[in-house]
């Protein structure tokens, strides 16, 4: 149990730092799921799963553009949470000798836990957006403080208050990640113990859904009158090359 | 919105310009403590041009009102250009290249994503700042000459092609994992066409303002219900 809390604390800390890249600091895109997933996977000792989740979520959230007043899904926190819940949840179930499947629960069954984590994206995203909006609302006061300090001739106040804004983002994101990762692992654990097996067996379908919606979301970003024929032609061309390449004709 | 950020970013340059006069320095920083909301990367050329204008003000060659009118006139257009070019085309392109590379070279896909994206990003940050400082208000014509919206449109087509390729690889790998190596070429073709059709239909859903999370549930639920009914029938 202490292990789970420690690992959740660690990934929340790193996740909180990575989330600063989203709007507050640098914006070099280390906050994208394709980067966040493997980093969190590395911390939890499973880079491959982290990369798989990161890749899936990258396509899913690539269309989320912060244009105008629209608040897109909080992709970095979602990536941290889905990766954490999946890896820790799988280990927890494996550790207790989960025996409700017709076969012995193993590493390869991570796809069932991933499916459960994916189905939690929507409520988790609502909580993450709330944390983000609260941080933005709270940060308004730093603008007024900086103005007042500048009026008193304190130039450093501008820089310091600007950095304080990033600090608020970090603290709120860190706390939200910690609470949601622990709650998410708990929900997965209890779901696997008490839900009907048929429901659990259907969870990999959620992964397939994310893949298809992810491709659709990415396709939407390239939407143009000419994009459909290019998309289909490229898909068939690559498939032809692969099938010829592996000798399946 | 980003007024404090802009003021904090320009403060070191203003400290350099108004070295000895703290009052003038505070007044200059106050000029930038106002509403400002543009694309973060497109702020670099504006920042460079404003530094140049601040130097002109110090020399008495320009009125302070020029700065606010210059910034205000560019917030909207540069926000739109940045959103279209960086968020709407470069980021999707980098993501698709990253995911496609990850399918073949694992973790290198993430590294490739960062490199592709940041070539464009850091170019705008660094050269945008330099060009802005060099050209002053002339930066507007320079950015216009780059024709970023037109490039965004071309890049979106490249993304569509790469995404088609990525979809085929994903489907093929998926078929291999789920059904094994015995699948024939025609089966792989049919599956790809089916999935490509599903992708286009789901894209239409998302285009019609169905949220991504809801779309995932909409796709998952029918299959889930089907499995549950099958299970119940098996028991009966």
* C-alpha B155, offset from chain centre: 12
Range of the domain at A103: 2-139+166-245
Which pLDDT value is given to residue B183? Answer: 66
Does A237 fall in a domain?
Answer: yes
The more confident residue out of A142 and A226 is: A142
Residue A95 and residue A83 in contact, taking contact as beta carbons nearer than 8 Å: no
Give the torsion through C-alpha atoms of B42, B98, A57, A224, to 10 deg: 60
Surface of A (205-224) touching B: CB under 8 A: 205-206, 208-213, 215-224
What is the predicted pLDDT for the residue at A105?
72
User: Distance of CA B225 to CAs A59, A113, A120, A212, B222, Å?
Assistant: 26, 19, 18, 19, 5
* Between B126 and B183, residue with greater pLDDT: B126
In this predicted structure, the answer to whether residue B133 has a pLDDT above a threshold of 90 is: yes
Measured torsion, CA atoms of residues A193, A195, A197, A203, in degrees rounded to the nearest 10: -100
Single out the residue of B41, B36, B21, B23 nearest to residue B67, CA to CA: B36
ipTM: 0.92
User: Which pLDDT score is estimated for B210?
Assistant: 85
Mean pLDDT, rounded, for A58-69: 80
> What are the C-alpha distances in Å from A8 to residues A51, A180, A182, B198?
18, 9, 7, 37
Cβ contact A220:B201 at 8 Å: no
Say yes or no to pLDDT of B5 above 80.
yes
pLDDT of the residue at B181? 60
- B35 shares contact with chain A (CB less than 8 Å): no
Asked if residue A34 lies in contact with residue A55, where contact means CB atoms within 8 angstroms, the answer is: yes
**Chain A residues touching residue B231 (CB < 8 angstroms):** 196, 198
In a domain, A145, yes or no: no
Each residue's pLDDT tens digit, A24-63: 888 999 999 999 999 999 999 999 999 999 999 999 999 8
Q: For residue A31, what is the DSSP state?
A: T
CA distances (Å), origin A23, targets A18, A31, A154, A169, B125: 10, 9, 26, 9, 15
**If contacts are CB pairs under 8 Å, which of residues 43-82 in chain B contact chain A?**
none
Q: Considering only the beta carbons, identify the residue of A66, A205, A232 that sits closest to B196.
A: A232
Total domains present in chain A? 1
In a domain, A151, yes or no: no
Q: Is residue A154 part of a domain?
A: no
Give me the mean pLDDT over the B38-47 stretch: 92
CB pair distance less than 8 Å for A122 and B214: yes
Question: What average pLDDT score do residues A5-28 get?
Answer: 94
Q: Residues with Cβ < 8 Å from B39, sequence gap 6 or more?
A: B78, B79, B81, B82, B83, B86, B87
Are A230 and B160 within 8 A, CB to CB? yes
Domain contains B173: no
Residue B8 belongs to a domain: yes
Residue B194's Cβ-side half-sphere holds a number of Cα atoms within 13 Å equal to 9
In a domain, B120, yes or no: yes
* Interface contact A150-B26, CB threshold 8 A: yes
Percent of chain B that is helix, strand, coil (3-state, to 5): 85, 0, 15
Contact call for A67 and B83, based on CB within 8 A: yes
Residue A149 resides in a domain: no
Among A73, A198, A222, select the one facing B159 at the smallest CB separation.
A222
Mean pLDDT, residues B10-28: 90
Between CA B16 and CA B14 the distance in angstroms is 5
Mean pLDDT of chain B: 89
Query: How many other β-carbons are positioned within 10 Å of the β-carbon of residue B154?
Result: 12
Angle between helices A121-151 and B3-17 (to 10 degrees): 40
Token pair 């992709």 in the structure block, residue: A75
Of B4, B87, B184, the CB nearest to A143: B4
Domain-embedded: residue A7: yes
A215: three-class secondary structure by DSSP: helix
- pTM of the entire predicted model: 0.92
Which residue range is the domain that position B72 belongs to?
3-157
Nearest to B116 by CA among A83, A32, A88: A32
- Over residues A158-203, the pLDDT tens digits come to 989 989 999 999 999 999 999 999 999 999 999 999 988 888 888 9
Instruction: Say what the pLDDT of residue A181 is.
Output: 97
B91 vs A contacts (CB less than 8 Å):
29, 62
B70 inside domain: yes
* Contact between residue A33 and residue A61 where contact means Cβ atoms under 8 Å apart: yes
The burial of B183, by beta-carbon neighbours within 10 Å (0-12 exposed, 13-18 middle, 19 or more buried), is given as middle
Give me the number of domains chain B comprises: 1
Asked if A38 and B111 touch (Cβ cutoff 8 Å), the reply is no
Asked if residue B218 has pLDDT above 70, the reply is yes
- Judge whether B230 lies within some domain: no
Q: Within a domain: residue B185? A: no
pLDDT at res. A249: 43
Residue B205 belongs to some domain of the structure = no
Average pLDDT over every residue of A5-23: 95
Decide if pLDDT at A155 tops 70. Answer: yes
* Cβ atoms within 10 Å of A148's Cβ, excluding its own: 12
Does A221 reside within a domain?
Answer: yes
Between CA A31 and CA A27 the distance in angstroms is 8
The model's pLDDT over B59-74, given as tens digits with 9 standing for 90+, comes to 988 899 999 999 999 9
CA A18 to chain centre: 11
């Amino acid at each position: 149990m202490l292990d789970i809390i420690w690992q959740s604390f660690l990934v929340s800390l790193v996740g909180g730092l990575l989330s600063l890249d989203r709007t507050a600091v640098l914006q070099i895109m280390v906050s994208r799921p394709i980067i966040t997933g493997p980093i969190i996977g590395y911390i939890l000792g499973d880079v491959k799963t982290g990369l798989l989740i990161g890749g899936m979520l990258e396509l899913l959230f690539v269309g989320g553009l912060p244009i105008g007043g629209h608040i897109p899904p909080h992709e970095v926190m979602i990536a941290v949470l889905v990766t954490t819940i999946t890896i820790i949840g799988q280990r927890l179930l494996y550790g207790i000798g989960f025996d409700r499947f017709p076969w012995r629960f193993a590493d390869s069954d991570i796809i069932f836990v991933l499916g459960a984590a994916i189905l939690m994206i929507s409520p988790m995203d609502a909580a993450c957006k709330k944390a983000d909006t609260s941080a933005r609302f709270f940060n308004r006061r730093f603008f007024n403080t900086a103005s007042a300090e500048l009026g008193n001739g304190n130039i450093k106040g501008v820089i310091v208050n600007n950095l304080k804004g990033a600090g608020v983002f970090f603290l709120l994101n860190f706390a939200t990640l910690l609470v949601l990762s622990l709650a998410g692992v708990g929900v997965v654990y209890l779901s696997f113990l008490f839900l009907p097996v048929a429901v659990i067996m259907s969870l990999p379908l959620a992964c397939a859904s994310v893949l298809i919606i992810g491709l659709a979301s990415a396709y939407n970003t390239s939407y143009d009158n000419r994009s459909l024929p290019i998309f289909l032609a490229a898909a068939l061309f690559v498939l032809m090359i692969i099938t010829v390449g592996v000798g399946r004709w | 919105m980003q007024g404090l950020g802009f003021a904090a970013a320009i403060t070191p340059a203003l400290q350099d310009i108004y070295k000895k006069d703290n009052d003038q320095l505070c007044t200059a920083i106050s000029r930038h403590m106002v509403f400002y909301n543009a694309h973060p990367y497109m702020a670099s050329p504006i920042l460079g041009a404003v530094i140049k204008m601040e130097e002109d003000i110090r020399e008495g060659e320009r009125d302070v009102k020029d700065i606010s009118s210059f910034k205000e006139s560019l917030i909207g257009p540069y926000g739109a250009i940045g959103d279209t070019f960086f968020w709407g085309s470069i980021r999707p392109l980098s993501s698709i290249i990253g995911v496609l590379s990850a399918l073949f070279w694992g973790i290198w896909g993430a590294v490739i994503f960062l490199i592709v994206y940041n070539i464009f990003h850091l170019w705008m940050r660094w050269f945008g700042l330099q060009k802005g400082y060099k050209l002053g208000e002339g930066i507007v014509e320079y950015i216009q000459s780059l024709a970023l919206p037109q490039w965004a449109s071309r890049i979106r087509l490249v993304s569509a092609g790469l995404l088609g390729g990525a979809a085929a690889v994903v489907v093929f790998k998926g078929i291999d994992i789920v059904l094994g190596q015995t699948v024939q070429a025609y089966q792989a073709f049919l599956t790809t066409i089916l999935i490509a059709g599903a992708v286009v239909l789901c894209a239409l859903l998302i285009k019609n303002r169905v949220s991504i999370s809801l779309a995932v549930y909409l796709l998952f639920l029918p299959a889930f219900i089907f499995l549950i009914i099958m299970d119940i029938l098996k028991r009966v």
